[in-house]
Structure 1
Amino acid sequence: MLLSGKAAFALSANTWHSKASGYEEIYEGAKNEEKPFFLLFHVDWCGYCKRLQSELLDNSKVRQFLASYYRVKINPEDGGKENLIAMKYGVRGYPNFRVVFPEGGSVRVHPFKRGRIYTPDEFIAELEAVLAKEN
């Protein structure tokens, strides 16, 4: 399958796509395949973003779960196009982790609750619940 004249991304356990161009290709690929994808908005200076990365996204169980889906990380401070994508989703704080659905719309998943971060199992369960609701 070709997306915008380029070969489709192979899903990989180690691949987060980035920048506006990565978002556009993933969005089109997910839409063509009718699959949801994960979208993370982050900034370099955000302590909560670093905790999300180290305590959840780097966890082997979470990585294995996410490996079945396209994934995109956007830093709105990288440029105007990235900032426009964040504005499209109404991002006001970081991290902002979303499940984006091919028919449109998204659901934000809040990994921080009442002063603590989800465990990897809680995070996966929350993602599964959001995915199940939309199917």
Structure 2
Amino acid sequence: MALVFLLLIANSAIAQPPSWSDWRHGYLGHSRAHAAAERSSAPLVVYFHADWCGWCRKLNTRYLREGEVRSTLSGMQKVELEPEKGASENKLFRQYGGSGFPSFHVLVPASGERPVKLSPFKRSGEWSPARFAQAIREAASGQYNRWAHRLERNGDRDGALKVLEAALEYDSGNAYAFYLQGLIHHKTGHEQRDVASLRRAKAAYERALALDPGHRGSREGLAALRDL
């Protein structure tokens, strides 16, 4: 009898949703989280779910409570919403292109990029929590990368470098961010004949190649600096 009681307690604990203590809630919570993320150039996670949804319960218990996923989300703005419990929440759900649950989105509002929808549940099988955490980081860093690329193309190199620093905070394995840092320092060093900038470019290219040995742009950039 005692064993059955302990098993019931254990199963009850496993079935509990993640702690929402560091999440905002509902439509108003979304407005506040979005504004905070835009001010700080931070990523935003928007999660639509429903009480009856079995896949939502699995996302809650297997993924959102897991250590690496929680660590990945810790520096991000986060909001959870239940579209079936409010007209404003349902309207927002539709604006995000929602058509079923769970509906989990990652975006960097300040970047102007469209939200990236993620799910660890695939026809080929379920992702591990570590793979889901990686996908969240990659979604955020991809938005930073595209934002930085636009800034660099428009001549705002300092702004691009700041965005790339933010990108690497969320995904230190972001080879493209290191490459673009190298490219910016390379251009600056070449134009200003600044050896320090060229050395920073070389170091950034090397970091990119350590992560992605086949990265063509970094290989070409490093070859151009071979005599440095």
TM-score (norm 1): 0.85
- Structure 1 residue 113 and structure 2 residue 146: aligned? no
Q: Name the residue aligned to 1:42.
A: 49
45-54 or 107-116, larger mean C-alpha shift: 107-116
> 2 CA distance for matches of 1:16 and 1:117?
25
> 2 CA distance for matches of 1:117 and 1:42?
18
Corresponding residue to 1:93 among 90, 100, 115: 100
Q: Name the residue aligned to 2:85.
A: 78
Deviations 1:65-86 (A, max 9, x none): 1111011111001111101110
Q: Name the residue aligned to 2:58.
A: 51
> 1 CA distance for matches of 2:129 and 2:53?
20
User: Percent of pairs identical after alignment?
Assistant: 29
Deviations 1:69-117 (A, max 9, x none): 0111110011111011101111001001100221252010121012632
| Cα shift at 1:33 | 1.1
The alignment's C-alpha RMSD in Å is 1.5
- Structure 1 residue 69 and structure 2 residue 76: aligned? yes
Pick closer, same or farther for the CA change 1:34–1:72 going to 2, 3 Å. same
Greater share of residues in helix: 2
- Structure 1 residue 127 and structure 2 residue 156: aligned? no
> 2 CA distance for matches of 1:119 and 1:32?
32
- Structure 1 residue 15 and structure 2 residue 15: aligned? no
> 2 CA distance for matches of 1:58 and 1:23?
21
> 2 CA distance for matches of 1:116 and 1:43?
22
59-68 or 111-120, larger mean C-alpha shift: 111-120
Query: Of the two structures, which has the highest relative contact order with CA contacts closer than 8 Å and spacing of 6 or more?
Result: 1
| Structure 2: unaligned runs, 5 residues or longer | 1-19, 145-228
8 Å contact 2:107–2:143 — kept in the other structure? Answer: no
Structure 1 residue runs of 4 or more that deviate by more than 2 Å after TM superposition: none
| Structure 1: unaligned runs, 5 residues or longer | 1-12
Pick closer, same or farther for the CA change 1:92–1:49 going to 2, 3 Å. same
Q: How many residue pairs end up in the alignment?
A: 123
Q: How does 1:20-31 map to 2 (within 5 A)?
A: 20-31=27-38
TM-score (norm 2): 0.51
